[in-house]
């Protein structure tokens, strides 16, 4: 496990050293900042914060998917083509440790990205809330405006939404890593997109129709549980038990995907 963690640290640094994650993070940060200005033109100030949180949720979720799926679909294939994987596996490093280390590195890069986006998300939400509450210049001159601080409920909403977006990205990255043992980058990405859409339409899939329908519902992750846009729109609190259950489900699904990916990688011919 120590070798897998060491490889994971190296992989995370490799992912974050590439320009794509920082380009995606910069674009998302600008989108969040723009969403704090755009709601000021609406007619309902109470809906400004919900609008900003909805836009921010979508931006954070899509950013984490791009940052995670890019290395998950290409890293293993590129290293096999460039024979970098053979060099690593020629050392006392098993294939299971190699695959687990690569996934842990991708998950670590996702966690760092989620932390940065979450902090910026909270700052933009604070700015939007201060506008909604009508913070004035004199309050700034008197000191830090206590009424402009996010409420505990808002902070929990933001934390819960970012954690669920991170969990969704981690699940899809596990699927991509498992498929990378069999498919190239483009077919892998196409399958991940299919899993993404089917996962969000899981509740609308037919419950009867034969063995293939049962198998599809059993294999495709239930990604709709990570969607919190409806809760934001209705102003429904996000229970801690719900977030914990979703995180537990994501951890179990990731473990199942890695358990499938490791035997597939063990049987793959690398030469």
CA distances to 42, 44, 83 from 136, rounded to whole Å, are 19, 19, 61
183-197 tens-digit pLDDT:
888 998 898 898 888
**Residue found by looking up tokens 């996010």 in the block:** 150
Torsion of the alpha carbons at 64, 66, 68 and 70, rounded to the nearest 10:
-170
As a whole number of angstroms, the distance between CA 50 and CA 235 comes to 8
| HEC profile of 156-189 | HHHHHHHHHHHHHHHHHHHHHHHHHCCCCHHHHH
The H or E element containing residue 152 is helix 152-180
pLDDT of residue 64: 92
The pTM of the full predicted model, rounded to 2 decimals, is 0.80
Give the pLDDT band (50/70/90) at residue 138: very low
Task: List the end-to-end C-alpha distance of the chain, in Å, as a whole number.
Answer: 26
| HEC profile of 99-139 | HHHHHHHHHHHHHHHHHHHHHHHHHHHHHHHHHHCCCCHHH
Residues in the chain: 271
pLDDT of residue 174: 92
197-237 tens-digit pLDDT:
888 776 666 665 566 566 666 778 888 888 776 666 566 66
Please tell me the number of Cα atoms within 13 Å of 32 on its side-chain side. Answer: 27
């Amino acid at each position: 496990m120590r070798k897998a963690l060491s490889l994971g640290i190296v992989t995370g640094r490799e992912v974050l050293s590439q320009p794509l994650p920082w380009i995606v993070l910069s674009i998302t940060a600008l989108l969040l900042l723009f969403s704090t200005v755009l709601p000021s033109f609406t007619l309902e100030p109470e809906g400004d914060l919900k609008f900003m949180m909805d836009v921010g949720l979508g931006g954070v979720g899509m950013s984490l998917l791009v940052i995670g799926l890019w290395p998950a679909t290409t890293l293993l294939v590129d290293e096999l083509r460039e024979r970098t994987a053979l060099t690593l596996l020629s050392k006392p490093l098993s294939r299971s440790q190699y695959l687990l280390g690569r996934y842990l590195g991708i998950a670590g890069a996702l966690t760092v990205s989620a932390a940065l986006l979450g902090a910026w998300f909270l700052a933009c939400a604070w700015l939007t809330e201060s506008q909604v509450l009508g913070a004035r210049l004199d309050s700034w001159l008197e000191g830090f405006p206590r009424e402009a601080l996010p409420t505990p409920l808002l902070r929990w909403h933001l934390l819960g939404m970012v954690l669920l977006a991170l969990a969704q990205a981690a699940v899809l990255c596990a699927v991509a890593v498992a498929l990378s043992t069999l498919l190239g980058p483009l077919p892998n990405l196409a399958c991940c997109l299919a899993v993404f859409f089917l996962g969000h339409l899981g509740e609308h899939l037919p419950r009867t129709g034969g063995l293939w329908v049962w198998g599809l519902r059993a294999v495709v992750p239930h990604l709709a549980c990570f969607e919190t846009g409806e809760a934001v729109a209705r102003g429904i609190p996000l229970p801690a038990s719900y977030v914990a259950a979703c995180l537990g489900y994501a951890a179990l699904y990731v473990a199942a995907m890695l358990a499938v990916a490791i035997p597939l990688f063990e049987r793959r011919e690398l030469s």
